[in-house]
């Protein structure tokens, strides 16, 4: 893969940014990668492990002369971070992000940008339950989707370059509009996370089952709930607050399905349950066939352990 940008700036140095850096280096996608994190401790860790060619103490210094600036911060602070660094952005630069909510991020970030900055929001559908600068690895994005958010105002060259960049990181790339993205992610990610948090919370509340038993006898279903529920609490708090409408819509549908299953169990309606589970099982097979997971017992997450 050839170089796409002379300089890339990563703002926020957690799992996604660190994985981006190692994948950039693996493919030779940028001449130089600069970085910034709000926490001095994170900046020092990044310097110690060689994360980024240079780590700066301010976001403005990190983005100076960068052709691509990537906001890798929680969606709740995207607007404030953009306001801080916007005056230092190079004319003609591309600004992007990796947040899992798009409509609210666009509303928060866009007002701070001058007309000569190309904002192309993005969302790599990749991650683990781990966080922090030391959690990243170059293979995180391999064979995973990255969604670019475009419309009729998007600069075409900026979007094409960013798509090529994400393909160079290992991703498959697709474009969609912000509202559709937020609804799709409410189904595939946001609501499942909320359900996982709830199930783990219910287990914690069952005082008649000791904590040691919950841990000791965890079968794969509950174990996978705990993996999901271990995700970064700040990020997920911001996701739900910033994708409120779509999440509530999907939660409403989920509640209706749950009541239907409750009714079938109460009535002993085995036919309904069998038909329902047969239909949902087919979705799992589809995910495996699409190469987005495996049928191995560890669900293909060996690297994330």
Q: How many angstroms from the chain centroid is the CA of residue 250?
A: 19
Q: Please say if the pLDDT value at position 75 is more than 90.
A: yes
Taking only the tens place, the pLDDT of each residue in 164-214 is 999 999 999 999 999 999 999 999 889 988 998 888 888 777 755 566 677
Nearest to 22 by CA among 181, 186, 131, 135: 135
CA dihedral 59, 63, 68, 71 (to 10 degrees): 10
On average, the pLDDT of the chain sits at 91
Whether the CB-CB separation of 167 and 173 falls below 8 Å is answered with yes
pTM score: 0.85
- Can you identify the CATH homologous superfamily of domain 5-176? NAD(P)-binding Rossmann-like Domain (3.40.50.720)
Query: Which of the 8 DSSP states describes residue 90?
Result: P
Taking only the tens place, the pLDDT of each residue in 231-256 is 888 888 999 999 999 999 999 999 99
> What does the alpha-carbon distance between residue 238 and residue 107 come to, in Å, rounded to a whole number?
15
Cβ-proximal residues to 219 (8 Å cutoff; 6+ apart), any chain: none
> What does the alpha-carbon distance between residue 141 and residue 266 come to, in Å, rounded to a whole number?
44
Range list for CATH 1.10.3660.10 in the chain? 180-267
Range list for CATH 3.40.50.720 in the chain? 5-176
pLDDT level of residue 303 (50, 70, 90 thresholds): very low
- Can you identify the CATH homologous superfamily of domain 180-267? 6-phosphogluconate dehydrogenase C-terminal like domain (1.10.3660.10)
Query: Which is more confident, 217 or 127?
Result: 127
Dihedrals phi, psi of 106, to nearest 5 degrees: -60, -45
């Amino acid at each position: 893969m050839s170089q796409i940008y002379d300089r890339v700036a990563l703002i926020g140095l957690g799992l996604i940014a660190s994985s981006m850096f190692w994948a950039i280096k693996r493919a030779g996608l940028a001449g130089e990668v600069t970085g910034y994190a709000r926490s001095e401790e994170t900046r020092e860790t990044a310097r110690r492990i060689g994360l980024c060619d240079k780590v700066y103490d301010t976001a403005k210094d990190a983005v100076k002369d960068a052709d691509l600036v990537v906001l890798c911060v929680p969606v709740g602070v995207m607007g404030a971070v953009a306001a801080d660094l916007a005056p230092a952005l190079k004319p003609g630069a591309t600004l992007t992000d990796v947040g899992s909510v798009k409509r609210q991020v666009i509303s928060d970030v866009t007002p701070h940008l001058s007309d000569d900055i190309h904002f192309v929001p993005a969302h790599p559908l990749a991650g683990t339950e781990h966080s922090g600068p030391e959690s990243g690895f170059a293979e995180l994005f391999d064979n995973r989707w990255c969604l670019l958010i475009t419309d009729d105002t998007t600069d075409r060259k900026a979007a094409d370059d960013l798509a090529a960049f994400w393909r160079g990181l290992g991703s498959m790339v697709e474009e969609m509009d912000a509202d559709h993205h937020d609804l799709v992610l409410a189904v595939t990610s946001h609501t499942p996370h909320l359900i996982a948090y709830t199930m783990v919370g219910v287990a914690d509340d069952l005082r008649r089952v000791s904590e040691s038993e919950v841990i000791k006898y965890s079968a794969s279903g509950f174990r996978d709930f705990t993996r999901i529920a271990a995700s970064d609490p700040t990020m997920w708090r911001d996701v739900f607050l910033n994708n409120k409408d779509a999440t509530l819509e999907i939660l409403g549908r989920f509640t209706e399905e749950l009541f239907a299953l409750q009714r079938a169990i109460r009535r002993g309606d085995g036919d309904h349950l069998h038909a329902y589970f047969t239909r949902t099982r087919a979705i799992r097979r589809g995910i495996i066939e699409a190469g987005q997971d495996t049928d191995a017992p560890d669900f293909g997450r060996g690297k994330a352990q």
